[in-house]
Amino acid sequence: MDSELKLRISDDTRTTMRARDKARLAILRLINAEIKQAEIDSRKALTDLELHRVLVRMQKQRASSATQYRDGGRPDLATQEEYEIGVIQEFLPKQLTEAEVSEAVDQVCATLQADSMQHIGRVMGHLTQSLSGQADMALVSEIVKARLSTN
């Protein structure tokens, strides 16, 4: 059984083929190839959460490449990478802002009565479950460390 996200990507691929949008089709095919490779590696069909992780990994790779291309004086290639990031983001849920993540961290710290760095494991464990797929966990970790180190 295919996940809802995988079906959306497949439908979008077919629509893009009909529209003859070669640039978009190329990235959609790349997304499908990454998904198939992840399924082969895990030897099972991927859940939406696992598909999300694949897409986030692809997005981070392209962001890194775009930065390197800009630093290397290749804005044309950086623009292509940014276009690909845009296509990938269409299939990802809306990400929380830094303020929203900070608010969630404050709520969890209050709920767990976490007030020192000794509690970072409990706080991060709780936030990983509740914010998975909605926020960059590196940002969450940074905010948690800042919050717990000030107390």
Q: What is the CATH number of the domain that holds 58?
A: 1.10.1510.10
Same domain, 85 and 12: yes
Count of structural domains within the chain: 2
Q: Which alpha helices (DSSP H) does the chain contain, by range?
A: 4-19, 22-42, 48-71, 75-89, 98-112, 120-131, 137-150
Same domain, 85 and 19: yes
Same domain, 60 and 32: yes
What does the alpha-carbon distance between residue 131 and residue 136 come to, in Å, rounded to a whole number? 9
Average pLDDT of the residues in 115-136:
85
**How do residues 3-57 score in pLDDT, each as one tens digit?**
888 999 999 999 999 999 999 999 999 999 999 999 999 999 888 888 988 998 9
Residue 44 DSSP code: S
* pTM of this prediction exceeds 0.95: no
Average pLDDT of the residues in 85-91:
94
What does the alpha-carbon distance between residue 42 and residue 110 come to, in Å, rounded to a whole number? 38
Q: How far is CA 77 from the centre of its chain?
A: 22
Same domain, 17 and 81: yes
Cβ-contact 137, 101 below 8 angstroms: no
Same domain, 85 and 106: no
Same domain, 9 and 47: yes
**Whole-number percent of the chain with pLDDT over 90:** 50
Same domain, 70 and 113: no
- Which residues constitute the domain of residue 48? 4-89
Looking at 40, 55, 89, the residue that finishes a domain is 89
Which residue, among 91, 96, 1, 105, has the nearest Cα to 44 in the 3D structure? 1
Same domain, 105 and 74: no
Same domain, 9 and 69: yes
**How do residues 62-78 score in pLDDT, each as one tens digit?**
999 999 999 999 999 99
Which residue, among 62, 78, 5, has the nearest Cα to 38 in the 3D structure? 5
Q: What is the CATH number of the domain that holds 107?
A: 1.10.10.410
The pLDDT value given to residue 14: 96
Average pLDDT of the residues in 86-98:
89
